[in-house]
Amino acid sequence: MDNDIGWELYRSFLGVLVEGSLSGAARALGTTQPTIGRHVAALEQSLGLVLFTRSQTGLMPTEAALTLRGYAEAMHHMAAALKRAADSQGQGVRGTVRISASEVMGVEVLPAILNPLQQAHPQLKIELVLTNRVQDLLHREADLAVRMTQPKQGALIAKRVGETILGLHAHQRYLDRCGMPIAPADLAQHALIGFDEETPFLRAARTALPSWQREAFLLRTDSDLAQLALIRAGCGIGVCQVALAHRDTALIQVLPTHWQLKLETWITMHEDLRHSPRCKVTFDALVAGLSAYLNTEIR
């Protein structure tokens, strides 16, 4: 096996894994199909492995390819982090910072925080990754993350900014049409909005509200944004951040004394980035902005 395999071979390999074909990888990577084919063939020869087999739907990864995927993805994230660090060199705050956050936080909360940050530092570029998956800061999938649980890794800097309080909410239009539930048992007579797949959140919600389960949901979606849109449209009762609902007087909290869920909220980044100007100003802006946002829940 050749121990000095160029990164471009792994990059093309990962491109084919993600896109499912040589042509798709070529488009995604801005190169040609023959180049991608040569790279994959060279990597297979260097590793002594067959990485793909042909099928009617494209290239199918072998078990060996699937085993190597995580390593190739880690290389991709580190290469991107290296580029972000290189671009940030020079005077002042400049370069790219990559932030991971949940869908609702990324769409509904962070833009108002990031706008003044970017205006204050026009050479700062922001990549906002919206995912409910906890991205791995240790492997540099992101520079900073907004998390709803305290990080355990010792190599991370973490600042607790408060608690995100979740409650049951409905639009006033829905309540005018269907009435306000007075007790948890009344929820059985209402249109409930929730997840399609079993999630840790759903299990946590059931500890205080046993009826909050998949079979009871009239409207099901695993997208937090879609659930929020359904609540706003007056389709039924669902879970919403209390601070977010406070922004819209038509969103009414339902059964507030019977059910609320509090999630500790943290801003985190790798300790190696503590002296990076781009990461430091972004970290501070997120701490200040989210602290102010979460404090609206107790006013």
- Domain 92-299 part of CATH 3.40.190.290: yes
Closest by CA to 56, choosing from 28, 20, 86, is 20
Structure-token match 């096996």, residue found: 1
What is the pLDDT at residue 86?
Answer: 73
Give the long-range contacts of residues 108-112, CB within 8 A, separation 24 or more. Answer: 108/228, 108/241, 108/244, 109/244, 109/289, 109/290, 109/293, 110/146, 110/286, 110/289, 112/289
Residue 26, number of CB atoms within 10 A of its CB: 20
- Give the pLDDT band of residue 285 (cuts 50, 70, 90): very high
For the chain, the structural domain boundaries read 7-85, 92-299
pLDDT in tens, 168-218: 999 999 999 999 999 999 999 999 999 998 877 778 778 878 888 889 999
Q: Are 262 and 146 in contact (CB under 8 A)?
A: no
How far CA 234 is from CA of 93, 219, 230, 237, 258, in Å, comes to 44, 12, 6, 8, 22
Closest by CA to 74, choosing from 154, 156, 130, 141, is 141
Q: How far, in Å, CA of 276 to CA of 164, rounded?
A: 28
**Strand 156-171 with 217-220, pairing:** unpaired
Residue 52 φ then ψ, to 5°: -140, 150
Residue 115, number of CB atoms within 10 A of its CB: 12
What is the pLDDT at residue 90?
Answer: 66
Q: How far, in Å, CA of 289 to CA of 151, rounded?
A: 20
Coil, strand or helix at 162:
strand
Kindly report the CATH class assigned to 7-85.
mainly alpha
Mean predicted confidence (pLDDT) in 72-76: 84
Residue 14, number of CB atoms within 10 A of its CB: 21
Q: Using alpha carbons only, how large is the chain's radius of gyration in Å?
A: 23
pLDDT in tens, 22-62: 989 999 999 999 999 899 999 998 898 899 988 777 788 99
> Which residues 6+ apart lie within 8 Å of 162 measured at CB?
265, 290, 291, 294, 295, 297
* Token couple for 4: 């000095």
In the 8-state DSSP scheme, what is residue 56? T
Closest by CA to 95, choosing from 280, 296, 269, 249, is 280
What is the pLDDT at residue 140?
Answer: 67
- Give the pLDDT band of residue 289 (cuts 50, 70, 90): very high
Q: How far, in Å, CA of 266 to CA of 279, rounded?
A: 15
> Left, alpha or beta for 112 (phi > 0: left; psi -120 to 50: alpha)?
alpha
What is the pLDDT at residue 3?
Answer: 61
Q: What's the predicted TM-score (pTM) here?
A: 0.69
* Token couple for 39: 């790279």
